[in-house]
């Protein structure tokens, strides 16, 4: 009887480890699939068309840039009256 009980517990343990191994394999596959997708996206993002970059010069509207700078740094501040 004791041997039968031990064999039964071994079967249960073996079934547990089979299910655990299957779950680990499935989760590992999902991780590999996700990481592969991330690296493919990064690789695609790093591919730059040289013709587009070579011809494009940045154009700055200096008047608008100075106007925005003045609007931010030379504005009149309204003081708070906290005494009342």
63-68: long-range contacts at Cβ-Cβ below 8 A with a sequence spacing of 24 or more? none
Distance CA 11, CA 16 (A): 9
Q: In this predicted model, which residue has the larger pLDDT, 81 or 50?
A: 81
- 7-52 pLDDT, tens digit each: 666 666 778 888 999 999 999 999 999 999 999 988 888 877 666 6
Q: What is the pLDDT of residue 61?
A: 87
Predicted pLDDT at 56:
64
Sign, CA dihedral 36-41-46-47, equals positive
Three-class secondary structure assignment of the chain:
CHHHHHHHHHHHHHHHHHHHHHHHHHHHHHHHHHHHHHHHHHHHHHCCCHHHHHHCCCCCCHHHHHHHHHHHHCCCCCCCCCCC
* pLDDT average, residue stretch 71-81: 85
The confidence score (pLDDT) of residue 60 equals 83
Average pLDDT over residues 49-77: 81
């Amino acid at each position: 009887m004791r041997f039968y009980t031990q064999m039964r517990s071994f079967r249960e343990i073996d079934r547990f480890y089979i299910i655990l191994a299957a779950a680990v394999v499935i989760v590992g596959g999902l991780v590999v699939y996700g990481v592969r997708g991330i690296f493919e996206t990064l690789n695609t993002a790093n591919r730059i068309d040289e013709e587009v970059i070579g011809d494009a010069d940045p154009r700055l509207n200096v008047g608008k840039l100075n106007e925005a700078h003045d609007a931010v740094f030379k504005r009149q501040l309204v003081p708070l009256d906290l005494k009342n």
